[in-house]
A = this chain, B = another copy of it.
Amino acid sequence: MLSNRHRTASNARRARTRPPAPRRATVHADTVSGVRPPAITTTQLHPLTDREQNQRLYAYEQRVRSAFDAIVPTLKRVEAIQQKDGFEPMAQAIVQQSLGFELPNETLAEAMAGGFDMRKLFAWAMFETYQRFSDDFFSGNNLIDDQTFQSFLIDCGFHTMDVSPCADGRLAHVISYVLRLPYREVRRKSYAGAMFDIENSVEKWTETEFLRFREGRPNHADEATRYLKTVVYHFSSSDPDHQGCAAHGSDTNKAAQAGLDRLHAFQQAVENTFCCGASIDLLLIGLDTDTDTIRVHVSAEDGTIDLRNYIDSSYVYLETMNMNAAQAASVLEARVRDHSEGATEGMIKLVSRLITNNLSQLDYVNEFNNRRYADIGHAERFIGAGIGFEEIQLRNLTYFAYMNTVEEATADLDVGVKIFTGLNVTHGLPIPVVIRFDYHGHVPGARDRAEANCKRVADALRARYSELAQDGLLHTLLAIRDCAAGETIEVLESSVFAKSIAGAH
């Protein structure tokens, strides 16, 4: 691999043979962390921004977020009138108007008898809101309607794009918002610190290549395309020492290095397990969770990635913001090329598209979040534990704990419970945990196994956090989903008002 010194010299040599680019756009940090990118202060949109898409994505985010945000104020209003005459119809009217559904009558009866249980009602309303949001998503929300992506990807030399972001809720929108990719065409599997499971990835690779050989899906095995594995690590430009990746001690260099190591381990696993030139392609992306700026470390054709060499979307934004669209696209591609020594043309094309897509997101954050998210720290609404959650495409809504067993996921779950102790428990509110297992309905017995998994995990969770559970400070919703059929979720049971939930759907 070229040293940074060598690479910089090489870039300098090339720079002499072409018109000099504005320095601020090609200069990048010497190390991954440490330099805060320039703020984008314009009120005008970037020429490559998809204004209509931004509006649509914002409307969706607002709709979902406001539904969750309305829960506490609404319940407080109900609590305030619990001693009044005509409480029950008044309360139902308030809840119906603000949240779009009614509370179970038994809870209002309890409240009138002086037993207003905010914990139970909060959990119930959270789960009800979650289910409505989930149903809405699976009833046909495309978010990014890009039907050309699959063929574009193949043209770039990749038949599959598999992305492992960190499980942190601040990255949950990375596919649909930050990178603006159609979620159905990209495999996403999140892990704490983006430390994805090598064995599981080799299995997925095997299945993918098998389908190419056997069924020509998505393309035939004799086409020279590869499986592209992408890791998204993250950092905070505002507060790098505290709001970065918890799994890597908020150390950006460590997060990047660990992501790179894991990518190479996966590549080596494929190469060592199979013969005849079996391999994968790699991509490493860093995300500033305060601004959604990305830095892309482009891999050379031989898989080498230099952590100190990356293209930063905010620099590209600033350099190209006053150009027309065609000029901007051309300069953008040139900047990607500057940082892509040894990369294939396909990789350059793909990275150019990702950077382009991200420019829209930079404007999104500028326009709707005043350039920098107000919630730069954790502000998730619930924990999602299990396998699934395709519908979670929004930032800071869900703390993910992808898992089969509590036994294997204790570290992730403990972190989640700690975060929610700060967010909810200290305010007297319970931790809502959605336990979810997706299954393939065409496999006999798969639904029963998913149901058994839900119940096993719920039991293990209650055993591990028994004090919280006993105090009504940890509530669970159990749901499964036939992901092969693309259906909505099926709620099995809940620790709050089991009958009401089960009866309602």
Q: Enumerate chain A interface residues (CB-CB to B < 8 A).
A: 198-199, 202-203, 206-207, 209-211, 213-215, 221, 264-265, 268-269, 272-276, 278, 404-408, 440, 442-446, 449, 456, 460
Across-interface contacts of A269 in B (CB, < 8 A)? 442-444, 446
14 contacts between A and B (CB under 8 A): A198-B443, A198-B444, A199-B443, A199-B449, A207-B210, A211-B274, A264-B444, A269-B444, A272-B443, A273-B440, A273-B442, A404-B405, A404-B408, A405-B407
In the docked arrangement, what's the CA distance between A434 and B147, Å?
Answer: 53
In the docked arrangement, what's the CA distance between A53 and B278, Å?
Answer: 42
Across-interface contacts of A199 in B (CB, < 8 A)? 443, 446, 449
Take A198-B445, A213-B213, A221-B213 as given contacts and tell me if A456 and B407 are in contact as well, using a CB distance cutoff of 8 Å: yes
In the docked arrangement, what's the CA distance between A440 and B444, Å?
Answer: 30
Take A199-B446, A446-B198, A446-B199 as given contacts and tell me if A276 and B407 are in contact as well, using a CB distance cutoff of 8 Å: no
Across-interface contacts of A274 in B (CB, < 8 A)? 211, 214-215
In the docked arrangement, what's the CA distance between A272 and B274, Å?
Answer: 27
Copies per complex of this chain: 2
In the docked arrangement, what's the CA distance between A108 and B310, Å?
Answer: 64
- Residue A460 contacts which of B209, B210, B407, B442 (CB distance < 8 angstroms)? B407
Q: Are B209 and A265 within 8 A (Cβ)? A: no
A268 to B: closest C-beta gap in Å: 5
Across-interface contacts of A211 in B (CB, < 8 A)? 274
A163 to B: closest C-beta gap in Å: 20
Which residue of B has the minimal Cβ distance to A217?
Answer: B275
Across-interface contacts of A406 in B (CB, < 8 A)? 407
In the docked arrangement, what's the CA distance between A97 and B449, Å?
Answer: 52
Across-interface contacts of A268 in B (CB, < 8 A)? 443-444
Q: Which of A214, A264, A268 has the most CB of B within 10 A?
A: A214
In the docked arrangement, what's the CA distance between A272 and B456, Å?
Answer: 27
A211 to B: closest C-beta gap in Å: 8
Across-interface contacts of A207 in B (CB, < 8 A)? 203, 206, 210
A199 to B: closest C-beta gap in Å: 7
Which residue of B has the minimal Cβ distance to A456?
Answer: B407
Q: Are B198 and A408 within 8 A (Cβ)? A: no
Across-interface contacts of A278 in B (CB, < 8 A)? 214
In the docked arrangement, what's the CA distance between A213 and B446, Å?
Answer: 28
- Residue A276 contacts which of B215, B408, B460 (CB distance < 8 angstroms)? B215
A245 to B: closest C-beta gap in Å: 19
Which residue of B has the minimal Cβ distance to A460?
Answer: B407
Across-interface contacts of A445 in B (CB, < 8 A)? 198, 265
Which residue of B has the minimal Cβ distance to A457?
Answer: B407
Across-interface contacts of A265 in B (CB, < 8 A)? 443-445
Take A215-B274, A442-B272 as given contacts and tell me if A206 and B202 are in contact as well, using a CB distance cutoff of 8 Å: no
Which residue of B has the minimal Cβ distance to A439?
Answer: B199
Which residue of B has the minimal Cβ distance to A267?
Answer: B444
In the docked arrangement, what's the CA distance between A272 and B439, Å?
Answer: 14
In the docked arrangement, what's the CA distance between A196 and B456, Å?
Answer: 19
Q: Are A202 and B443 within 8 A (Cβ)? A: yes
Q: Are B214 and A209 within 8 A (Cβ)? A: yes
Q: Which of A211, A275, A405 has the most CB of B within 10 A?
A: A405
Across-interface contacts of A456 in B (CB, < 8 A)? 407-408
Across-interface contacts of A272 in B (CB, < 8 A)? 442-443
